[in-house]
Structure 1
């Protein structure tokens, strides 16, 4: 695709295989979104009336939704990067009278979409949240999904003689229920090899090893095309949780929950003060263990980072793929905004001879709390 950058596209119903040459020749662009709750991709093809995609591949079901698996991998300087491992969910055909303007668009999502298609009713007797997650994820090992489930900080489950929790929804809906009450996150990370994915259920922890710095306004050392920052003074709030005293169960005890994540400490030396106060609902009548778990979950869910950044870069100039859910340094933005940031989302935009990324960053606090960042 580019000097030092190669693109690999695998497509198939069960075990994806390299796409045929006709598909690669018709490929116009690829877009991959990662970093949110569910990642997605879009393949755009330029087709003609006699294109193999229209005359043969589409009629035989080559891109059938919910049956076709797609793996997208970019190899940069010999290092493979699996960008997406997902399932096709939608087809769009846009014929045109203009030569070369007819487009076939294939849209899909990561493998978590398979967890959201069948509603199940099953009990979980004697199982806490960790065992429930492992039970749900076990069947998906057939798709190369390896679970990484972090245990809850507070053990809270009922004895089978008292009752048990049941699932009456899709697997993904029940997983989201578990993540909400624990303050955890759940996502699928493709790789490190094609056909493998990591299913992470745990605190929203960013890898501590930062990626090479994003340089802006540094002349020949600049490696981004654009980068801007904004500070929202209304982003942070303090939550008040009210519980009843454990002895009489009649005296309300307010507990303030600071807007600081215990797993995502502020990356700025001067944190932004909270501007709002909010009271939690429906906790007064719950068991103490349940309230403690939900309260710690609020601490782990992560603070609302007041500073956000948006930018774009050329991968060839940056020298590697910028990954979401990790740290990255910023240089050249000035004393207030230089330093480390969390990479929230990344969008890969790939065309013939071009590989660019747009990204969003976040952190709380002005002025870097580290003397230097990784160049």
Structure 2
């Protein structure tokens, strides 16, 4: 690809192995998008009338959806980084009248797509939510998926004689439901070795170690191609929960909650004013422990960032790939928007002689609350 950067593409049924040279020769671009809870990829190939991809690999099922596993690894200065471990979900062939201009596009998602194929009927009597997650994920150990399920902050466990929780959905939908009610997130993080992934169930915590700063308007020191900021004045809200006193269960107690995220501290010194007030009517029907769980869930996930940013960069100029689910500093944007941000999504676009990234950032408030931004 480029000096110091190498791309490794692995594919196969069940077990992915390095692809033949003819596949790499036909590859024109690789796109990998890493989001908060879902990741996906797209591979583009150029094929001709006599291409082995057209006459051999495609008809023999080399790119078949659901059964074909894809692993994408980028090695920068000898350090490998697994960008994707996923499954092909569809492919699209676009024939052309021009010689060698036909294209084959392979699209897929991370390994969580396998968890969304079969609906199961299972019972979980008197089991904490994180143990339910580990139990549901056990069947995917053959794919190299290692569960990393954090205990819930407020465990709600009912005696079997009172209530038994049942699963009637796919494993992915079931786990996402457990994550939502506890204020957690669920996603698949590939690596660190090819063929290995961690299934994370826990708080949406960004790694607090800042990445190299994104510099704009710094002349020759600028390392981003573009950067745009947006301030949403309607993002902030107060949500009012109503619970009943545990003694008589008749006296309503309103509990107003600010729109903050207790696991993601605001990175702006001046917060945006609250614009809306909502009422959580469903909370009045819950038991005290269940209402407390819902309230904590809102405090962990209910915050809507008021400041967002989007941009693009060249990885060679930046020095390394920008990582999602981490923190990054911004400098050169002015007093209002300089400072630290959470990295929400990153899209890697790799072509011959080019490695670029598009990204989105977010935080609460304007003006940096840190005196210095690490370069």
TM (normalized to structure 2)? 0.99
Contact 1:336 1:368 in 2 (8 A): yes
Aligned to 1:173: 173
Deviation at 1:281, TM superposition (A): 2.9
Aligned to 1:219: 219
Aligned to 1:132: 132
Aligned to 1:235: 235
**1:366 and 2:362 aligned:** no
1:117-266 equivalences under 5 Å are: 117-266=117-266
Deviation at 1:240, TM superposition (A): 0.4
Alpha-carbon displacement from aligned partner over 1:331-358 (angstroms, at most 9, x marks no partner): 1001111110000001111111111000
Alpha-carbon distance in structure 2 between the residues aligned to 1:159 and 1:248: 23
Aligned to 1:32: 32
SS of equivalent residue, structure 1 residue 100? coil
Alpha-carbon distance in structure 2 between the residues aligned to 1:24 and 1:206: 35
Alpha-carbon distance in structure 2 between the residues aligned to 1:78 and 1:235: 43
Aligned to 1:72: 72
Alpha-carbon displacement from aligned partner over 1:303-332 (angstroms, at most 9, x marks no partner): 111000010000011010101110000010
Aligned to 2:287: 287
Question: What RMSD in Å do the two structures reach over aligned CA positions?
Answer: 0.9
Aligned to 1:352: 352
Any unmatched runs of 5+ in structure 2?
A: none
Deviation at 1:302, TM superposition (A): 4.8
Which 4+ runs in 1 deviate beyond 2 A?
none
Aligned to 1:306: 306
**Higher mean C-alpha displacement, 98-107 vs 65-74:** 98-107
SS of equivalent residue, structure 1 residue 192? coil
Number of matched residues? Answer: 375
Alpha-carbon distance in structure 1 between the residues aligned to 2:372 and 2:318: 19
Aligned to 1:44: 44
Aligned to 2:99: 99
Aligned to 1:20: 20
SS of equivalent residue, structure 1 residue 284? helix
Deviation at 1:100, TM superposition (A): 2.2
Any unmatched runs of 5+ in structure 1?
A: none
Alpha-carbon distance in structure 2 between the residues aligned to 1:90 and 1:320: 31
Alpha-carbon displacement from aligned partner over 1:269-308 (angstroms, at most 9, x marks no partner): 1111211000113111211000001110110115111000
Contact 1:229 1:309 in 2 (8 A): yes
Contact 1:35 1:344 in 2 (8 A): yes
Deviation at 1:371, TM superposition (A): 0.9
TM (normalized to structure 1)? 0.99
Contact 1:326 1:343 in 2 (8 A): yes
**1:2 and 2:2 aligned:** yes
Alpha-carbon distance in structure 1 between the residues aligned to 2:302 and 2:31: 28
Contact 1:86 1:108 in 2 (8 A): yes
Contact 1:263 1:302 in 2 (8 A): no
